[in-house]
Amino acid sequence: MNFAVIKTGGKQYKVAEGDILTIEKLPDYETGGKVVFDEVLLVSREGVAKIGEPNLKGVTVDGEFVEEGRHKKLIVLRYKNKINYRKLKGHRQPYSKVKISKINV
């Protein structure tokens, strides 16, 4: 199985061709637009792995921008006992969905 490990949004993802990823929001892409990930940390082809130090030179992962949205609401409650102190906040993290089309070695 061919796969790669990419870094985007401060996180690392193991990807293969045809995967759909939900990653941190990417700035200003149109639906169907091309996305190129150039921070590739590892590539495995036919059981042979190449590891970067920290990134592999000349290796990219191509993807197609699918959609962007926001996750479900996360409730944040601050509460202190016996003094009638409560603060309630909600947070919805934005995300982008990307379909991996090709791993270029």
With pLDDT > 90 as the criterion, what percentage of the chain qualifies? 80
Q: How much is the pTM?
A: 0.82
**More confident call, 35 vs 1:** 35
Distance CA 6, CA 4 (A): 6
Q: Would you place residue 20 in the very low, low, confident or very high pLDDT band (cuts 50, 70, 90)?
A: very high
Q: Look up the domain containing 24 and give its range.
A: 3-104
How many domains, the chain?
1
Q: Would you place residue 76 in the very low, low, confident or very high pLDDT band (cuts 50, 70, 90)?
A: very high
Helix (H) or strand (E) holding 74: strand 74-80
Given a cut of 90, whether residue 29 has pLDDT beyond it is: no
Distance CA 91, CA 2 (A): 37
- Angle, CA of 18, 19 and 21, to the nearest 5°: 145
Q: Span 72-95, mean pLDDT? A: 97
DSSP 19: -
Q: Span 64-81, mean pLDDT? A: 96
